[in-house]
Amino acid sequence: MKKLMLGNEAVARGLYEAGVKVVSSYPGTPSTEITEFAAKYEEIYCEWAPNEKVAAEVAFGASLRGVRSACAMKHVGLNVAADPLFTLSYTGVNGGMVIFVADDPAMHSSQNEQDSRHYAIAAKVPMLEPADSAEAKLFVKEAFEISEKFDTPVIVRMCTRIAHSQAAVELEDRVEKELPAYEKNPQKYIMAPANAIRRHPFVEERIKKIAQMSETSSLNRVEYGGTEKGIICSGTCYQYVKEVFGDTVSVLKLGIVNPLPTEIIKDFAAKVDKLYVVEELDGIIESHLNSLGIPCVGKEMFSPIGEYNQTTIREAFGLPQPENVTLDTTVPVRPPVMCAGCPHRGLFYTLAKHKITCLGDIGCYTLGSAAPLFALDSTLCMGASVSGLHGFNKAGGADSEKKTVCVIGDSTFMHSGMTGLVNVAYNGSNSTVIILDNSITGMTGHQQNPTTGYNIKGEPALAVNLEALCHSIGIDRVRVVDPYNLKECEEAILEELAADAPSVIISRRPCMLLKYVKAKPPVTVNKDKCVGCRQCMKLGCPAISIKDKKAVVDFTQCVGCDVCTQLCKLGAIEKGDR
């Protein structure tokens, strides 16, 4: 039976069919749905971990016990999981272990555009890269076979297009693996220096064996067409090349992108007049060809920046563009914006009003940096706001401490903000940390986290008490505010900045998009009272606009949060009927 599946759903199906028993992940677009779909299979234990490092270590523990395991993350999540990854390369596995990493060319939802292939090369572990949903499922199963055959973790590289595009996938039965008896093996799994030094030669020999395997693997294939041009590609670039050229050129499609084969490339290069390498982001395949002394055209013709498509391929080769794909360039750009009723808006308005320097973090609240609020001064990586605030205040002294804060979401705080707060308490900076607790992991689509009281299946689970946690870390001044109450927010922020002690403000109100949150009647504008002062526009609420010099409220968007009513000194914005 075949089913139309997203690439991420196909990965989850591959996990099911491969007999995987444990999956641990931290949500991160474009990888999130892998774990969400895997959780639908009762045979697989799935969980949201606090961060990617924990997820990788959970998967290792399951592998050590002898079962097949996996973890999934986006490309920047692999940075967090890099510590266990590099040593996992030395220990190898017991049950098969696969790490799924989803790169994000063009940075649709990411803070950088890194190429995860570098991690596979540096850690000396194999990496596979599927080109559609059907291959995604197939490559998952192949990855576990390679993992167990060569005693190695395997990385499967997805990307935004493959993760979120659909293709037909053939469904097969699950193959159960028996739980073996556990056997202690300290020389293999205890990476003290004396043991690790003996494992390094194994790693070097293993990558050579996998390279030999890749020469004959069906995951790498040649599709001969015209011999004037030969194109080497992988992943989504294969789809673009085939759509542009069809069978008029010869294509070497690489499914194993680390280690790269040698002989199959040499043979392919010898049979075409001119060789091209089409790969998104860095020129890794091109560099491999250069090391082999094989002339090719790569990044001199294709950009190392952004996402390719059929149009960019045609442009690079100087081919005419089909007329029917031309878009009207006059379509206005719609910038991202916090939703109407977003609980973060009132807090950001207060920070902007008082011109408070604010170090930001990773989450939907990063949108507080946009017009008209301009409330953020930096956004680096998960958890960096807290650590950065400490450094900023240590550098700036008392002057900085009295007018600088940081903001971090509840899920991000659990991910990597806690250690920064420990640093604030331990090394004593007078820093004010604001935790934006919207009761969910918002940016990636409403996944649970350790503070929400529910697990990945929506079942009741332990809920971390943020107030108690902050107190236990060593922060005496902890208070909770309602971000819909501007006066309360203002008082809390100014008081904590004035205090001579580190403090935490928890801005708590659930995301308006959560199903259990009910909107109130929309506010109305009294046209007789409105003078068109535009004070309400300073909120940046998408439900408010100006027409004929008067404020207008879009009833289809307004959720009755009443924040705007607190700004209107003339009382022109009135609460809806309650």
CATH of the domain at 374: 3.40.50.970
CB 317 within 8 A of CB 327: no
Output the pLDDT for position 323: 77
Q: Is residue 332 part of a domain?
A: no
Output the pLDDT for position 327: 63
CB 148 within 8 A of CB 95: yes
Lowest-confidence segment of 23-27, 202-206, 396-400 by average pLDDT: 396-400
Sign of CA dihedral 497, 502, 508, 513: positive
Same-domain status, 359 and 495: yes
Q: Is residue 331 part of a domain?
A: no
Last residue of a domain, one of 176, 197, 216: 216
pLDDT tens sequence across 257-294 = 999 999 999 999 999 999 999 999 999 999 999 999 99
CATH value at residue 556: 3.30.70.20
Q: Is residue 334 part of a domain?
A: no
Q: Is residue 326 part of a domain?
A: no
Same-domain status, 188 and 57: yes
- Mutual angle of helices 284-291 and 263-270, in 10-degree steps: 80
Q: Is residue 328 part of a domain?
A: no
Q: Is residue 548 part of a domain?
A: yes
pLDDT tens sequence across 495-546 = 999 999 999 999 999 999 999 999 999 999 999 999 999 999 999 999 999 9
pLDDT classification of 251: cutoffs 50, 70, 90: very high
Output the pLDDT for position 40: 97
Q: Is residue 543 part of a domain?
A: yes
Output the pLDDT for position 450: 95
Same-domain status, 308 and 364: no
Last residue of a domain, one of 216, 242, 263: 216
Cis before 30? omega within 30: yes
pLDDT tens sequence across 328-342 = 667 777 788 899 999
Same-domain status, 60 and 203: yes
CATH value at residue 245: 3.40.50.920
Output the pLDDT for position 329: 67
Same-domain status, 374 and 494: yes
Full DSSP string of 498-559: HSSS-EEEEEE---TTSTTPPPPPPPEE-TTT-----GGGGG--TTEEEETTEEEE-TTT--
Angle at the Cα of 187 (from 186 to 189), degrees rounded to 5? Answer: 60
Same-domain status, 314 and 369: no
Place of tokens 């995860």: 116
Q: Is residue 336 part of a domain?
A: no
**Residue numbers of the domain that contains 439:** 344-508
Helices then strands, counting H and E runs in the chain, come out as 20, 22
Q: Which residues pair with 229 in a beta bridge?
A: 274
Same-domain status, 402 and 295: no
Same-domain status, 79 and 152: yes
Residue 62: HSE in the Cβ half-sphere, 13 Å Cα cutoff? 25
Same-domain status, 490 and 528: no
Same-domain status, 373 and 441: yes
Q: Give me 60's structure tokens.
A: 């290792």
Domain count, the chain: 4
Same-domain status, 394 and 485: yes
Output the pLDDT for position 332: 76
Type of residue found at 563 = V
Same-domain status, 266 and 128: no
The whole-angstrom separation of Cα 567 and Cα 146 is 62
Last residue of a domain, one of 216, 232, 249: 216
